Structure 1
Amino acid sequence: MKAIVSLNAGSSSIKFALFTLEDPAAPHMVAGGKVEKIGISPSLTIRAADGTLLHQHDWRGGERLTHAILLEELSGWLLGHLAGHELVGIGHRIVHGGTRFAEPRILDQTLLADLEALCALAPLHQPHNLAAVRAMMKIHPALPQIACFDTAFHRQMPETASRFALPRALHDAGIRRYGFHGLSYEFIARQLREVETNLADGRVIAAHLGNGASLCAMRGGRSIDTTMGFTALDGLMMGTRCGTLDPGVVLHLQTELGMGVGEVEELLYRKSGLLGVSGISSDMRALHDAESPAAGEAIELFVWRAARECGAMAASLGGVDGVVFTAGIGENHAGIRRQLCERLEWLGIRLDQQANEESQQIISSGDSAVRVLVIPTNEELMIALHTATLLRRLRGSVSPQRGGRCI
Structure 2
Amino acid sequence: MSAEQILVLNAGSSSLKFQLYDVGDGDTLSRRFKGLIGGIGTPHGRLQVVDGTNAPLADERPDPARLADVEAAQALLGEWFMAHAGAPPSAVGHRVVHGGTEFTAPVRVDAAMLARLEALTPLAPLHQPANLAPIRSILSRRPDLPQVACFDTSFHRSHGPLAERFAIPEALYQQGIRRYGFHGLSYEYIAGHLGDLGPSLPAARVVVLHLGSGMSACAMRDGKSIDSSMGFTALDGLPMGTRPGALDPGVVLYLAEQGMAPAAIEHLLYHDCGLKGLSGISGDVRDLLGSDAPAARLALDFLAYRAAGTIAQLGSAMGGLDAVVFTAGVGENAAPIRAAIAEGCTWLGLTLDAARNATHGPRISADGSRVSAWVLPTNEERMIARHTLDLLRGRKTAW
TM-score normalized by structure 2? Answer: 0.95
**Which residue does the alignment assign to 1:99?**
101
Corresponding letter in the other structure for 1:106: R
1:364 deviates by 0.9
**Which residue does the alignment assign to 2:84?**
81
SS in 1 for 2:144: coil
Corresponding letter in the other structure for 2:333: N
Q: What whole-Å deviation, never above 9, does each CA across 1:93-145 have from its counterpart, x for those lacking one?
A: 01000011111111111111111121121122111000121122234332011
Q: Distance in 1 between matches of 2:26 and 2:171?
A: 44
1:86 deviates by 5.3
1:11 deviates by 2.1
CA contact (8 A) 1:33 1:46 kept: yes
In the superposition, relative to structure 1, how do residues 278 and 316 fare at CA in structure 2: closer, same or farther (>3 Å)? Answer: same
- Unpaired runs of 5+ residues, structure 2, are none
**Which residue does the alignment assign to 2:222?**
220
Q: Distance in 1 between matches of 2:346 and 2:107?
A: 43
Q: What whole-Å deviation, never above 9, does each CA across 1:226-277 have from its counterpart, x for those lacking one?
A: 000100011000011011111111111111x111111111111111001111
Q: Distance in 2 between matches of 1:394 and 1:272?
A: 41
Q: Distance in 1 between matches of 2:147 and 2:348?
A: 44
**Which residue does the alignment assign to 2:306?**
305
1:64 deviates by 6.1
Alignment pair present for 1:332 and 2:333: yes
Task: Report 1:368-379 matches (<5 A).
Answer: 368-379=369-380
**Which residue does the alignment assign to 2:132?**
130
Q: What whole-Å deviation, never above 9, does each CA across 1:180-216 have from its counterpart, x for those lacking one?
A: 0000000000011333221111100000001100000
Corresponding pairs, count: 393
Task: Report 1:242-321 matches (<5 A).
Answer: 242-255=244-257, 257-321=258-322
Corresponding letter in the other structure for 1:51: N
In the superposition, relative to structure 1, how do residues 59 and 87 fare at CA in structure 2: closer, same or farther (>3 Å)? Answer: closer
**Which residue does the alignment assign to 1:56?**
59
SS in 2 for 1:316: helix
Moved more, 4-13 or 19-28: 19-28
Moved over 3 A (4+): 59-64
SS in 2 for 1:393: coil
TM-score normalized by structure 1? Answer: 0.93
Q: Distance in 2 between matches of 1:223 and 1:163?
A: 15
In the superposition, relative to structure 1, how do residues 219 and 359 fare at CA in structure 2: closer, same or farther (>3 Å)? Answer: same
Q: Distance in 2 between matches of 1:147 and 1:309?
A: 30
Structure with higher RCO (Cα < 8 A, 6+ apart) = 1
Pick from 167, 170, 177 the counterpart of residue 169 of structure 2.
167
CA contact (8 A) 2:82 2:88 kept: no
Q: Distance in 2 between matches of 1:43 and 1:263?
A: 29
Corresponding letter in the other structure for 1:215: A
Task: Report 1:106-121 matches (<5 A).
Answer: 106-121=108-123
SS in 1 for 2:20: strand
CA contact (8 A) 2:66 2:73 kept: no
Alpha-carbon RMSD across the aligned residues, in angstroms, is: 1.6
SS in 2 for 1:134: helix
- Unpaired runs of 5+ residues, structure 1, are 396-407
In the superposition, relative to structure 1, how do residues 63 and 124 fare at CA in structure 2: closer, same or farther (>3 Å)? Answer: farther
Moved more, 59-68 or 31-40: 59-68
